[in-house]
Amino acid sequence: MKLALSISLGSSKRNKRVELELLGQRICLERIGTNGDMQAAAALFRHWDGKADALGVGGADLGLRVAGRWYPLYSVQPLVRDVKRTPVTDGAGLKNTLERRAAYVIEKQLGAVEPRRVFFTSGTDRWGMTQSFIDAGYEYVFGDLMFSLGLPLAIKSATAARRIAALALPLIGRLPFHWIYPTGEKQEQRQPKYGEWFAWASVIAGDGHYIKRHMPARLTGKIICTNTTTPEDVAQFRQAGARALITTTPTFEGRSFGANLLEAALIAVSGQGRVLRDDELEDLLKALKLQPHFQSLNS
């Protein structure tokens, strides 16, 4: 059996292991959280190098791909510095392919969304998802500066987001990762803020931890579009009154894994022994008929 393993800086409470069949091959998908301990994560990457068929970096990005440009996150890259034999991915390929279908899946399931407004809690780190809503004609606001840096500044155009990314990310990429993104137990701490933008939008899209950490108590009628969810997350969104949930990766045994783990699984079953190009990922997605997962929460 093949093994795709995600080693995450996130909470160990979200650990999960499933076995399934992809392209006629049995494969185990497993996620191991290290509660924000970067040294422990690096040690696990060293241990599994050459043993797993593919590795995923969870709870962090090796870098951000924004409108075709790559911005390294230098504080994260040491995690995989010693990985020499096993291909490793942070899910950037699926963020640029599978996640580009997010707005289409919403329209297919719910029809035209009105008012046509989306609030990205973080748009630059999931540019494929962001682009899907822009292409679908949504009015949008980026919350990247609000949630990553704590600056109460809304970005209201993709051009501005690209320019800010080009100016800021080379500097932000050198900051300690925990300064800009919650890791470990901090992911479970609630800090509601910027409720006016949650209220303004019909769709709340972006990183799941940002959404859960900062969302208001009520999300009545809202559509949530995010990445990784557990059954507890789904219950939280339902209790808050959200209308529907779209996870950009499929659901296995009630859990949608991160893009990094699903991409690692595709790398493993491809047999290529390397990170796959976007066109190769598209071919596998088509062969497996994989789409973002839609779930109605409150009618």
pLDDT computed for residue 184 by the predictor: 65
Residue 166 has phi, psi (to 5 degrees) of: -65, -35
**Domains in the chain, please, with CATH?**
2-90+258-292 (3.40.50), 98-251 (3.40.50)
User: In this structure, are residues 170 and 71 in contact, taking their beta carbons and an 8 Å threshold?
Assistant: yes
Residue range 98-112, pLDDT digits in tens: 999 999 999 999 999
Say yes or no to pLDDT of 190 above 90: no
Residue 82: pLDDT band (50, 70, 90) is: very high
Spatial contact of 173 and 63, defined as CB atoms under 8 Å apart? yes
What are the residues whose beta carbons fall under 8 Å from the beta carbon of 39, sequence distance 6 or more? none
Judged on CB neighbours under 10 Å (0-12, 13-18, 19+), 124 is: buried
pTM: 0.92
For residue 24, pLDDT beyond 80:
yes
- Write down the pLDDT at residue 254: 75
Per-residue confidence (pLDDT) for residue 251, from 0 to 100: 81
At 7, the pLDDT band (50, 70, 90 cuts) reads very high
Q: What is the pLDDT of residue 211?
A: 95
For the ranges 4-8, 84-88, 231-235, 261-265, which has the lowest average pLDDT?
A: 231-235
pLDDT digit string (tens) for 136-154? 999 999 999 999 888 999 9
Quick one: pLDDT at residue 214? 94
**Mean per-residue pLDDT for 276-280?**
97
Question: Does the pLDDT value for residue 267 go beyond 90?
Answer: yes
Q: What is the rounded distance in angstroms from the CA atom of residue 268 to the CA atom of residue 174? A: 31
What confidence category does residue 185 fall into, taking pLDDT thresholds of 50, 70 and 90?
A: low
Q: How far apart are CA 284 and CA 279, in angstroms?
A: 9
The arithmetic mean of pLDDT across residues 152-174, rounded, is 94
Query: What pLDDT was estimated at residue 55?
Result: 99
Residue 265 has pLDDT above 90, yes or no: yes
The pairing of strands 293-296 and 244-247 is antiparallel
Position 155 pLDDT exceeds 90:
yes
Average pLDDT over residues 241-255: 89
pLDDT in tens, 26-57: 999 999 999 999 999 999 999 999 999 999 99
Residue 242: what pLDDT? 98
* pLDDT reported for residue 261: 96
Q: How confident is the model at residue 93 (pLDDT cuts 50, 70, 90)?
A: very high
Query: What's the pLDDT at 256?
Result: 80
The answer on pLDDT for 188 being more than 80 is no
pLDDT of residue 202: 99
